[in-house]
Amino acid sequence: MIKSILSRAVQSHKLEEEEIILLLTAEGKDKERLFEKADFIREKYLENKVFLRGIIEFSNYCRRNCFYCGLRRDNKNLIRYRLKAEEIIEMAVQGVMLGYKTIVLQSGEDDFYDGDIIAWIIKKIKEKADTAITLCLGERDYYEYKLWKESGADRYLLKHETSNRTLYHKIHPGMKYEERITRLKWLKDLGYQIGSGNIIGLPGQDIKDLARDILLFKELDVHMVGIGPFISHYQTPFASSKNGSIDLTLKTIAITRLLMPRVHLPATTALGTLDPSGRKKALLAGGNVIMPNITAAEYRSLYEIYPGKISTDEKNTHCPNSITKLIKSLDREVGIDYGHSPKGNNFA
């Protein structure tokens, strides 16, 4: 049964919801076969390159109150910080000198930075350094997204987190599922390469929701999908909930690879946080991207979306470190170009 589902997925890159559910519940030999097929598709379409994206977490202020996240506005026990525009630009330029060809600018939803200042930061980075820029700044106005695209931004990450509307509304007070999806469509229409993603093991989520998440990634035809396990944070309403499953996360990554052969799939930090070999396992189950944190050391521990978030010696790509060693040990190589989406929407 699983074998025939897998061989059809490898050929057509299409599956029904029920078939995805069967793969998500695969165990033993069947599970290994799923990972092998995902690895096969990854190699067939994307060869052996692993792309690195250097992340700068420039502000941990957030106006939102997501039930799972340590940066939520009601968490009064967190020391908040904001980097100045010049510091962000400097950090980005340094990141490019360290070898990154994509810089990700990430923050909580922080209106302190208006549309114009973000546009200025993007322009300055592009003037000073040869890099692609990904933004991950949450929900903003159409005209801000448009301005940032015109200022040189290449990509935008906005995870839909869960496709279960009822659950989405319960855990994201004041937010609307439809507005999230509308924004992903705007961003795509504006010419961004877009990234979505979900959290595996959210309290109240079931296996059907995960199958629908995968079908939604495909329907939205996103360029990148960030899939990570839920990690319980002690200063949130989900303090006593249990963490998401590594295995289920890996299976979700693998099925997404089968259905979206050219999509970028990061081996997420959340996976590496829950399991020391989590990122390796993800690279062997369809993953092809790693996003090391290049924020200055003094701010790292304050960007605590979940506890224990790893940030290691992974900054400099020119000399061997844990990430480049991992990539080599798997007989892969670090991608040396921008790593734009090979799906061919906007870029050569």
Question: Which parts of this chain interact with ligand SF4 (CB under 6 A)?
Answer: 62, 64, 66, 69, 71-72, 108-109, 138, 305
64 binds, among ligand 5AD, ligand SF4, none (CB under 5 to 8 A by kind): ligand SF4
224/230 Cα distance (integer angstroms): 19
Q: Shortest Cβ distance from residue 94 to ligand SF4 (Å)?
A: 24
Binding site for ligand 5AD (CB under 6 A): 68-69, 159, 161, 199, 228, 230-231, 233, 270, 305-306
- Measured in residues, the chain has a length of 348
Q: Are 236 and 203 in contact (CB under 8 A)?
A: no
Work out the number of other CB atoms within 10 angstroms of the CB of residue 239.
9
Residue 108 interface partner, choices ligand SF4, ligand 5AD, none, CB cut-off 5-8 Å depending on type: ligand SF4
Select from ligand SF4, ligand 5AD, none the partner in contact with residue 211, using the beta carbon and a kind-dependent cut-off of 5 to 8 Å. none
Identify which of residues 34 and 66 has a Cβ nearer to ligand 5AD in the complex.
66
What is the DSSP secondary structure assignment for residue 243, as one 8-state letter? P
Closest separation in Å from C-beta 68 to ligand SF4? 7
Please tell me the distance from the alpha carbon of residue 41 to that of residue 13, in angstroms, as a whole number.
Answer: 10
DSSP percent split of the chain into helix, strand, coil, nearest 5: 40, 15, 45
DSSP codes joined into one string, 69-93: -TT-TT-TTSPP-B--HHHHHHHHH
CB of 65 to ligand SF4, least distance (A): 6
Q: Which is nearer to ligand 5AD, 55 or 285 (CB)?
A: 55
| 231 phi, psi to nearest 5 deg | -125, 120
- 124 vs 145, beta carbon nearer ligand 5AD: 145
DSSP state of 171: H
Residue 303 binds: one of ligand 5AD, ligand SF4, none (C-beta under 5 to 8 A by kind): none
Query: Choosing among ligand SF4, ligand 5AD, none, which partner's interface includes residue 110 (Cβ < 5 to 8 Å by kind)?
Result: none
CB of 347 to ligand 5AD, least distance (A): 24
27: three-class secondary structure by DSSP: coil
What are the angstrom distances between the C-alpha of 194 and each of 76, 83, 214, 268? 32, 25, 15, 17
CB of 320 to ligand SF4, least distance (A): 33
We find the least distance from the C-beta atom of residue 327 to ligand SF4, in angstroms, to be 28
**Taking CB within 5 to 8 Å according to partner kind, which of ligand 5AD, ligand SF4, none is near residue 121?**
none
